[in-house]
Structure 1
Amino acid sequence: MEISGIGSFLRNRRFGNYLEASFGVNFASPSKVAVKEEVEKKIQSVAFVEDDGIGAVLISWVRIVVCFVTMMFTTFIWALIMLVLFPWPYQRIRQGNIYGHLTGRLLMWILGNPIKIEGSEYDEKAIYICNHASPIDIILIMWLTPTGTVGVAKKEIIWYPLFGQLYFLASHLRIDRSNPSAAIQSMKEAAHTILKNNLSLIIFPEGTRSKNGRLLPFKKGFVHLALQTRRPIVPIVFTGTHRAWRKGSLHVRPAPLNVEYLPPIRTDDWTADKIEDYVKMVHDVYVKNLPESQRPMH
């Protein structure tokens, strides 16, 4: 059952395809190159004005309902696929990624936020990390995560309706955060699974969602995983998602979004006695690459 090419197609070419869907521009023709450049400039210079009028709110609610219905449909289809593949965990991981590529892309198209994606994709296995300030971050990760990647989340995620059950069926990893010793053991088991199956990993190092978009302190888990797997760390910086969909709100605003892949950070020579230093170093990378409005307040 080798259909991983479908997932690759759904994910790439991410930027150009999404612009075509959002702006109705056909970039296939060489004569449209100049148009594409103009659209990119337009996205960068979008002056976002918040509109909390009843019309904007109603449109937002419709988008959310359509997203929910779409996710229910794709989740049901892929849940059936996962059940058929239950004896083969790695195939379920791949199918989970394909589900994410399709569902994430559809949901972002429905929400309609203009997106710019910068930086180069990384072809080797890695630990991908992202800042987290909005539900949109999860949708983007579903869409952009390479095939052969598992997520790491708290064990309670299995109780989230629809998403939690599919998360379990897709063989993603769960961590017991009830106490330090349980968390460390969970990390060791996660690292073993990643190496055994030659997987990449996606994790939010803040451990929770920021309420105001400002970067929170990083937990140490991603560094422990890097030390045990020696995977490079690829930082992905999300900008603007907190303005598009704020925590606790059901109003999705058309704020422009930016996704930037930063150069990978090698971990081959990292040592266990410098964990705090590595956490601070990677956190500082984010502080440097985030706009002032999303940097921590000192």
Structure 2
Amino acid sequence: MTALRSALFNALFFSVTAMTCVLGLALVPFPRRYVRRYVQGWARLILWLLRVVCGIGLRVTGWEHMPKGPVVVAAKHQSAYDTVVWLALLPDPVYVLKQELLRIPTWGRLARHYGAVAVDRKGGATALKRMVREAGAVLAEGHQIVIFPEGTRTMPGQRIPYQPGVVALAAASGAPVVPVATDSGLRWGRGALSRKLPGPITVAIMPALPPGLPRVQLVAALEEAIERETDRLVVAAGGPALSPPLVDKSVG
């Protein structure tokens, strides 16, 4: 039954998303706020389908820790679910995403008009500076930036070094950085056609990190908060314990 429900959701997800992208092109001539509201509607529809078809609900804890106004949400990334849920949770979210995604036909054009901040992961310091500049402009407009510090998805229990983007963005913008943990990978696994297992997905919002932390301390505090809470959520839900930490000397 789980396999059948997963297959049905996958079919609905791709068909609804494709239709949303095609119809959304009609909004490109209009201001970005209209595209944002349109995409947020898509996200809420996807979460509703996930709950109805697959029995996967959403549980958010620590919402009182989310500041009002511009903020950098540094979220654990285990699943494609994480790229959807913040569109439904935040009032004006903008994602930092890899540049390759903007090359997807139709979707890429809509994402660019939406205001997504792209980063070239092979572009080195120049690409990092461009990302910080563009994301800083988004924050200055009062929006929320969602960034995945690892730079890619990880499996539950897996641990990889954090990338420097979130640290550079925090230092340049002065915006509060909010760590977020999740166990989404236990319900919606890696891969477009993965099985969707029924049960709740937890998104745990933790207190914003103290402003003005030095680079090394900020990375350490961010990783400690996210990985410790993610490990607790995953283990409590029956998943694997966290692997030993990996040292990334580039953040020093």
1:266 and 1:124 map into 2 onto residues whose CA distance is: 17
| Unmatched 5+ stretches in structure 2 | 246-252
Pairing partner for 2:10 from 61, 64, 84: 64
> What is the CA deviation profile of residues 246-294 of structure 1, one whole-angstrom value per residue up to 9, with x for unaligned ones?
2235322214311111112232x23xxx312210111001232122435
2:180 and 2:24 map into 1 onto residues whose CA distance is: 27
Q: CA deviation at 1:220?
A: 1.4
Aligned to 1:131: 76
TM-score where L is the length of structure 2 = 0.81
Question: How many equivalent pairs are there?
Answer: 234
1:187 and 1:84 map into 2 onto residues whose CA distance is: 24
CA contact (8 A) 1:153 1:174 kept: yes
Q: CA deviation at 1:221?
A: 0.7
Larger Rg: 1
| Unmatched 5+ stretches in structure 1 | 1-54
Aligned to 2:56: 113
Q: What secondary structure sits across from 2:63 in the alignment?
A: coil
Pairing partner for 1:148 from 92, 99, 107: 92
> How much identity, in percent, do the aligned residues show?
21
Q: Does 1:169 find its partner at 2:113?
A: yes
Aligned to 2:188: 245
Q: What secondary structure sits across from 2:244 in the alignment?
A: coil
1:111 and 1:205 map into 2 onto residues whose CA distance is: 29
One-letter amino acid matched to 1:60: S
Q: What secondary structure sits across from 2:186 in the alignment?
A: helix
* Cα RMSD (Å): 2.4
Q: Does 1:75 find its partner at 2:21?
A: yes
Aligned to 2:249: none
Aligned to 2:244: 297
Aligned to 1:208: 152
1:124 and 1:192 map into 2 onto residues whose CA distance is: 13
Q: What secondary structure sits across from 2:91 in the alignment?
A: coil
Higher relative contact order, structure no. (Cα contacts within 8 Å, ≥ 6 residues apart): 2
CA contact (8 A) 1:153 1:175 kept: yes
> What is the CA deviation profile of residues 97-151 of structure 1, one whole-angstrom value per residue up to 9, with x for unaligned ones?
534543443343344213322112522321011111112222222322x222211
> What is the CA deviation profile of residues 8-60 of structure 1, one whole-angstrom value per residue up to 9, with x for unaligned ones?
xxxxxxxxxxxxxxxxxxxxxxxxxxxxxxxxxxxxxxxxxxxxxxx431221
Aligned to 1:275: 215
Q: What secondary structure sits across from 2:203 in the alignment?
A: strand
